[in-house]
Amino acid sequence: MKSSSRIIVALDPPEEVDDVVSWALNIVDNTIDYVVGYEVGLPLLIRANGVKELSVLLDRISDLELRIADLKLADISDMMVLAIKPLIEIGFNAFTAHAFIGYSGALKELGSFLQKNDSKLICIISMSQPGGVDFFDKYLDRLTNIAIKAGAWGLVAPATRPWVIRKLRKLIDYMGWRHIKILAPGVGYQGGRPGQALENGADYEIIGRYITRSSNPQNVVKEIARIHEEVIRRVEG
């Protein structure tokens, strides 16, 4: 593990893989020395044989700073809390949720539940798909305010639209929320150039298929780490 790394690997298994947890463990073994954390989404969660099998994966990455369940939660608070309890038990320590579900009866209760359980709330403020402009980008300020009010540790904004990241960075700096992290998915496969999100104000880049579907995940992650170091040297002076 490198705590200075800005790389989070999204473990989304391809369709043709049968044993998704073994697939994920293999990626982890090849990349763990170069990343700050991993992210598990519904494709892996649904195809694993329950939380028991997933706990093997969580044990393997238990030293890492970020063990994210990328559920993109968007439900009433009771249901979100009910869904994540078994995931906290096996070692996830951060959860993504949409800011658009609002505060009361939703993010408020989720945020305080996560705080009580030493876990991080990561709020989705914008998304990488073209349709992300239909709503998200129009209400960046308001979504950010709801997320911060709920105690978010980090905010998600897409590497595919660097101007959104710049705007978000400006907004949170201006509001005095400099401690809030920005996480950027959409690097590589979806079109974001590695390092570009960091240049534009993100703290972490979330990278999935670009690493996990390459013939040599370790080489790719090492190359991205090298690019990131260059960018950080340049940006931070």
Active site amino acids: 72
Backbone angles phi, psi at 96, to 5 degrees: -90, 140
Among 35, 40, 106, 121, binds a copy of itself (CB under 8 A): 106
Beta-strand pair 204-207/154-156:
unpaired
Among 1, 55, 86, 223, binds a copy of itself (CB under 8 A): 86
Q: Does 82 bind a copy of itself (CB under 8 A)?
A: yes
2, 116, 118, 207, 233 from 91: Cα distances, Å: 19, 15, 11, 21, 33
Q: Which two tokens stand for residue 184?
A: 């950027």
Q: Does 226 bind a copy of itself (CB under 8 A)?
A: no
| Spatial separation of the C-alpha atoms in residues 159 and 121, rounded to whole Å | 20
Among 50, 63, 116, 176, binds a copy of itself (CB under 8 A): 50
Helix axes 20-31, 50-60, angle to 10 degrees: 10
Q: How far is the CB of 7 from a copy of itself (least distance, A)?
A: 19
Q: Does 91 bind a copy of itself (CB under 8 A)?
A: no
> Which of 177, 206, 212 lies closest to 194, judged by CA?
206
Among 2, 19, 25, 45, binds a copy of itself (CB under 8 A): 45
Q: How far is the CB of 96 from a copy of itself (least distance, A)?
A: 10
Q: Does 131 bind a copy of itself (CB under 8 A)?
A: yes
CB under 8 A: which stretch of 36-44, 173-181, 199-207, 225-233 binds a copy of itself?
36-44
